[in-house]
Amino acid sequence: MDTRRNRREVSKKKPKRKRKLMVIFVMMFSILFIATAAYAVIQYETGRNESQANITPTHKIEMTEEQDVVEVKEPENNEPINVLLIGVDTSDHQPARTDTIMITQYDPKTGDAKLASIMRDTYVEIPGRSNNKINAAFAFGGPDLLRETIEQNFNLDIHYFAMVNFDGFVEVVDTVAPNGLEVNIKNRMYYRDGSGSTVIDFQPGLQTLNGHEALNYARFRNDAQNDFGRVQRQQEILTLLKDELLSFSGLTRVPRLIGAIKPHLETNIQTSRMLSLGRDFVLNPVSQIETLRIPIDEGYHNEYYSHAGSVLEMDKSKNVQALQEFFSRQSSLAAETSTDEADEQES
């Protein structure tokens, strides 16, 4: 009898122990979630406040009323997100002008990322205007007309835009890579403007660049490669930043990065959406960034027009096809993963 009674008492105690363990687990998970959320908020606000303190009136991005409203096209059916990235110069009292035009595609489900750079002298059809260099679309109508120009010329949907100035680029580099970016500089690079306010001076070899130095490296075009070399260096810096961000310490800086760039950013991406994409980036990190340049090799020739100056006259059919195929095909890593999963299912 005593043995049966003891067994019943033990069986009664087991569920209580399980409930206690479950309560403890839930409490620990809740504390961890709250601590993580608090850390993210604190880091976001710290980055935003530090960046805001460094802004000067001449470096703010300001758009005219014509440029101020930009349409938002939400992705449909879980399709990858296409974002128009615009780098602008706001260093003087002139209206913001762009010499960096990129389209980045990110698939939150797979972590695939692609980056296509459109050279600023590419000659295109601008809606409501005469044909001109693609960066003239920004001068005429800001990011909205630039987006419309890209969609019309390349038959590509642009969901969002993000416009950042030089200070924002510096903030990104210094936040993501506080110890600098290691860059292998291939050739001597030297440039000095007429006023002496801008001096770019790099020796060949492995260099560790801070934000300002990385900006100068990416902007340089006073060599035989001109804008072609600049586009290549811009893509190189973005790839290095991606590698830094994928490190453990880099991932912990994501909220701070978003806060740091916010004051230098003009975008139609809501902050909540930005933080959501940051979460997706942590859960599905980008392993590699595929890149493309428009116009492609053998897909353009040099031309001159009195109203536009020297331009890159592109073979439209070749370049539209190249861009469409680039954004529609699976990345090599995703293709390998799909093949491996298919093999596992068959076996």
Q: How far apart are CA 97 and CA 88, in angstroms?
A: 5
Rounded mean pLDDT, 153-165: 93
> Does residue 157 carry a pLDDT above 80?
yes
Least confident of 37-46, 86-95, 97-106, 211-220: 37-46
The pLDDT assigned to 65 comes to: 47
Q: How far apart are CA 103 and CA 114, in angstroms?
A: 8
Contact 300, 314 (CB under 8 A): yes
The pLDDT assigned to 284 comes to: 75
- The mean predicted confidence, pLDDT, of the chain is 80
Q: How far apart are CA 331 and CA 144, in angstroms?
A: 29
The pLDDT assigned to 287 comes to: 80
The pLDDT assigned to 218 comes to: 94
Architecture of the domain defined by 54-346: 3-Layer(aba) Sandwich (3.40)
The pLDDT assigned to 21 comes to: 62
The pLDDT assigned to 343 comes to: 52
> Does residue 338 carry a pLDDT above 90?
no
Cα-based torsion angle of the residue sequence 207, 209, 214, 219 in order, rounded to the nearest 10 degrees: -40
Q: What percent of the chain has pLDDT over 90?
A: 46
Least confident of 105-119, 301-315, 327-341: 327-341
In this prediction, residue 64 has a pLDDT band, given cuts at 50, 70 and 90, of: very low
Of the ranges 45-49, 162-166, 275-279, the best mean pLDDT one: 162-166
Nearest to 102 by CA among 60, 63, 158: 158
> Does residue 40 carry a pLDDT above 60?
no
- How far are the Cα atoms of 18, 32, 292 from residue 28, in angstroms, in the given order? 15, 6, 46
> Does residue 15 carry a pLDDT above 90?
no
The pLDDT assigned to 291 comes to: 95
Q: Model confidence over 188-229: pLDDT tens digits?
A: 999 998 777 789 999 999 999 999 999 999 999 888 888 999
The pLDDT assigned to 13 comes to: 54
> Global pTM?
0.77
H/E stretch holding 287:
none
Contact 319, 299 (CB under 8 A): yes
Nearest to 124 by CA among 150, 85, 104: 150
The pLDDT assigned to 259 comes to: 78
In this prediction, residue 25 has a pLDDT band, given cuts at 50, 70 and 90, of: low
Contact 61, 87 (CB under 8 A): no
The pLDDT assigned to 72 comes to: 66
DSSP H stretches of helix in 178-331: 211-219, 226-245, 248-251, 254-261, 271-283, 316-328
Domain ranges of the chain: 54-346
3-state secondary structure at position 223: coil
> Does residue 170 carry a pLDDT above 60?
yes
